[in-house]
Amino acid sequence: MKNILLIWDIDGTLIDSKGLGRKAMDKAFFNLYNIREGFKDVNMAGRLDSRIVKKAFMINRIVDSNLVSFFDKYEENLKQELKSNTSSRVLPGINEILESTSQQENLFHVLGTGNCERGARLKLSHLGLDKYFKIGGFGDEDAERWEIIKKAIENAQSFYKTDFKKENIYVIGDTPLDIECGKILEIKSIAVATGGYGYEDLLECEPDYIFQSFEVFEEFLSLLAS
Ligand SMILES: [Mg+2]
């Protein structure tokens, strides 16, 4: 039986966190530096937290030695946002996919996200998804997105003591950047139009597979079985 590795993006793919991450970052900027809308000119979709914050630091002339205290504040704010805001949700079909495959011995779910690990865990545990993902690649490091995905693969190989073949590794995400990772690493990409990009925009990037959403989760599962 072939071993399949699924590398999941978080925002716009597994969950819609209703911009709570961005809000928590904006707040941290205001709390610490008294600057409003510190991320106004920073595109966040598909990007790594470490790079997003560094870019905002650069624009607002804040030195990188503040990164640790910034992320501490971000975590604190994110906890509060999640507690007081009930609108974040699991995207259609995700619960069904994860629940129905979690006992499948040849299928492994990991994270491949631009979120810093603490942020990722907070967002997912709030919606009960944390339990499905033991490991992954995260946006804490200053790296390219594809390097995060590569890290996720390496972590999966050593953690599960399994050598995944490239043709059985899938990167799943809602942005052109996720699809690009698939091409760079020569693994399969699955795009889903439940985030910031429309179906047509994603289609132009030529993913291996594309879904409007995972609502008809049986289609997603049959793809893996093929
Ligand atoms: Mg995303």
Taking only the tens place, the pLDDT of each residue in 31-67 is 999 999 889 888 887 789 999 999 999 999 999 999 9
Backbone angles phi, psi at 114, to 5 degrees: -80, -15
Q: Is the pTM of this model over 0.85?
A: yes
In this prediction, residue 172 carries a pLDDT of 98
Considering only CA atoms, which of 4, 13, 2 is closest in space to residue 175?
A: 13
- Single-letter residue type at 128: G
Q: Domain segments of the chain: what residues?
A: 4-16+89-225, 20-84
Decide: helix, strand or coil at residue 92. coil
CATH class given for the domain over 4-16+89-225: alpha beta
Residue 15: enclosing H or E segment and its boundaries?
strand 15-16
How far, in Å, is the centroid of ligand 1 from the Cα of 125? 17
Rounded to 5°, angle at Cα 72 from 178 and 9: 15
Decide: helix, strand or coil at residue 8. strand
In this prediction, residue 173 carries a pLDDT of 97
How far, in Å, is the centroid of ligand 1 from the Cα of 49? 12
Question: What tens digit of pLDDT does each residue of 156-174 get?
Answer: 999 999 999 999 999 999 9
How far, in Å, is the centroid of ligand 1 from the Cα of 150? 17
> pLDDT under 70 in the chain at which residues?
none
Neighbours of 86 (CB within 10 A): 9
How far, in Å, is the centroid of ligand 1 from the Cα of 175? 6
Contact call for residues 194 and 16 (beta carbons, < 8 A) = yes
